[in-house]
Amino acid sequence: MFKKILIANRGEIAVRVIRACREMGIQTVAIYSDVDRDALHVRYADEAYPCGPPPARDSYLQIDRILEIARRSGAEAIHPGYGFLAENGEFSDRCAQAGIVFIGPSGDVMRAMGDKVTARQTMEKAGVPIVPGTTERLSDEAIARWIRDVGPPVMVKATAGGGGKGMRLVRSEDEIAGAVARARGEARASFGDDGLYVERFVEEPRHIEIQVLADAHGTIVHLFERECSIQRRHQKVIEEAPGNRITPELREKMGEAAVAAARAAGYVGAGTCEFLMDKNDHFYFLEMNTRVQVEHPITEAITGVDIVKAMIRAAAGEPLGIAQQDLSIRGHAIEARIYAEDPDQNFIPSPGDVVVYRPAGGIGVRVDSGVYQGAKVTVFYDPMVAKLVTWGADRGEAIQRLKRALSEFVVKGIKTSIPFHQKVVRHPIFLAGRYDTGFIDAHMDGGRGPAAEDDAEAAETRRIAQALAAIAAYRRDKQRAAGAVAARGGTVAEDPWKTFGRRAQMRGGLR
């Protein structure tokens, strides 16, 4: 086992990896940009080294500098977390060349799975179902010809990257030219690669992903599914495990497909096969993420498997020590991604100093965070403040705990997405578990609208609050009037309603 690991990342995922290493008796090395000098991951690590100015391209993406820090610190391995260099095949190659273990798949595997066209070809050969479409990069003319031959609606998608970048829906032939131009431009700007391909558009799609673990000894297991269909602008905001309305038979088929995909790719480590599921429960391979996922804690909650530790053991050449028949689902877990964004202002970023930070707690609650009271949220990196995870014996209990935890979670000094999450978890469609990836746009006005379910308790609470506010305002006005009269040396006139009431009582009641 490794004695020292460098974490080539920041924020909550760096803290997460450091904690796993500490439990395994492994020393940790943090890197930090100039604005992250006081960051939580720097405080938690055994050693920390500066890696450059705030922009990621000058710090957390500097491969030569990171490898030099690894050599200087004596780190035997590097964990990339997610984002930054986590799915950079060149970084994996360079680590191997430097004699440092990259905790993740090889560069060849990352390149094969990172290019969606190549991944689709690999999955098709392995018998894993893919969304009907092309399995090669296309020119603008070829895309237009394919769409006209097949007919819309279709998705024009970038061959590289992810996160919804370089993706456009085409619902009519008139939209082809504009959609292709925008998708290609966004892909070039985001990934430095403007390659595009085309897929049939899946109506009422659900986003279901399967977590896999693989070691170098040929063992591959899946840790069941996660439902990631609550998305805003193709970005996941709430995930849950297991998925909704997934039968045991469907779960087994998807798990087998994910294991087949990992085996076809020659995968070692922790990875995720993402699938689209249509309204008839047919599932199709979407892509494979060759890293730890943001939402991995909900899988840990329902299986009891520490995914980060499993990654480290696999990278060290150890067997997983897990058999598929030993794994089972226990309860239900939900994750809410809390961002430094203002949901009332179209989710614009809300950087600044965290003046108050009081995370939720209690039974069944987990908070993964990279901030603390007094920390600064900058404009340079992902605006995630924390991942709030709740577990329950069933979905209903997990939701109730999430409601309770969201009401307890206090962050001041910056705006957060907590109010938005509170709307989602009150919505009847979410509560019923019958949503798809269009839920936020179709039922919540893109995240700006209220929850449709406005229960009687909430309405009564508002009514009481409004009544109390009106009474308080009346009393303030009365006190001001009394003060003004006293200042003029006069006396306050008797309230006519009180006078009328007293006279009525003396007469034996109202007539």
Q: Which domains does the chain have, with CATH numbers?
A: 4-103 (3.40.50.20), 132-200 (3.30.1490.20), 206-456 (3.30.470.20), 469-506 (no CATH)
pLDDT above 60 for 460: no
pLDDT tens column, 353-362: 999 999 999 9
pLDDT tens column, 1-39: 999 999 999 999 999 999 999 999 999 999 999 999 999
pLDDT above 50 for 494: yes
Per residue, the 3-state secondary structure of 341-381, as one string, reads EEHHHCCEECCEECCEEECCCCCCEEEEECCCCCCEECCCC
pLDDT at position 449, please?
Answer: 66
Question: ∠ CA 295-301-304 to the nearest 5 degrees?
Answer: 120
In this structure, how many other beta carbons lie within 10 angstroms of the beta carbon of residue 424?
25
Q: Binning pLDDT at 50, 70 and 90, where does residue 453 land?
A: very low
pLDDT tens column, 332-349: 999 999 999 999 999 999
Q: Residue 473: exposed, middle, or buried by beta-carbon count in 10 A (0-12, 13-18, 19+)?
A: exposed
DSSP string, 100-134: -EESS--HHHHHHHHSHHHHHHHHHHTT--B-SB-
pLDDT at position 234, please?
Answer: 84
Taking each helix axis from N to C end, the angle separating 248-265 and 116-125, rounded to the nearest 10 degrees, works out to: 110
In this structure, how many other beta carbons lie within 10 angstroms of the beta carbon of residue 285?
24
| Cβ contact 387:333 at 8 Å | no
pLDDT above 50 for 96: yes
pLDDT above 70 for 228: yes
In this structure, how many other beta carbons lie within 10 angstroms of the beta carbon of residue 452?
13
Query: Which of 43-47, 276-280, 442-446 is least confident?
Result: 442-446
CA distances from residue 249 to 244, 254, 256 in whole angstroms, order as listed? 14, 9, 11
pLDDT above 50 for 456: no
pLDDT tens column, 64-93: 999 999 999 999 999 999 999 999 999 999
Higher per-residue confidence, 346 vs 494 = 346
CA distances from residue 180 to 155, 164, 217, 346, 356 in whole angstroms, order as listed? 10, 15, 44, 26, 45
pLDDT above 60 for 452: no
Task: Check 10, 226, 232, 291 and give the catalytic one.
Answer: 291
Q: Which helix (DSSP H) or strand (DSSP E) does residue 79 occupy?
A: strand 77-79
pTM: 0.84
| Cβ contact 220:267 at 8 Å | yes
Cα torsion for 420, 383, 306, 27, to the nearest 10°? -150
Q: Which residues pair with 338 in a beta bridge?
A: 386
| Pairing, β 196-200 against β 154-158 | antiparallel
Q: Could you tell me what percent of the chain has a pLDDT over 90? A: 82
Rounded Cα distance between 359 and 11, Å, is 16
Over residues 119-128, the mean pLDDT reads: 92
In this structure, how many other beta carbons lie within 10 angstroms of the beta carbon of residue 442?
13
Cα torsion for 246, 248, 254, 260, to the nearest 10°? 170
| Pairing, β 27-33 against β 4-7 | parallel
Average pLDDT of the chain, as a whole number? 91
| 81 alpha-carbon distance from chain centroid | 14
Q: Binning pLDDT at 50, 70 and 90, where does residue 383 land?
A: very high
Q: Which helix (DSSP H) or strand (DSSP E) does residue 269 occupy?
A: strand 269-277
* C-alpha gyration radius of the chain: 28
Over residues 452-466, the mean pLDDT reads: 54
DSSP string, 405-427: HHHH-EEESS--SHHHHHHHTT-
Rounded Cα distance between 393 and 391, Å, is 7
Q: Binning pLDDT at 50, 70 and 90, where does residue 511 land?
A: very low
302 Cβ contact partners less than 8 Å away, ≥ 6 residues apart: 224, 241, 242, 329, 330, 331, 332, 333, 391
| Cβ contact 32:47 at 8 Å | no
Reply yes or no on whether 291 is catalytic.
yes
In this structure, how many other beta carbons lie within 10 angstroms of the beta carbon of residue 266?
13
Rounded Cα distance between 226 and 247, Å, is 13
Over residues 317-322, the mean pLDDT reads: 96
pLDDT tens column, 175-215: 999 999 999 999 998 888 999 999 999 889 999 999 999 99
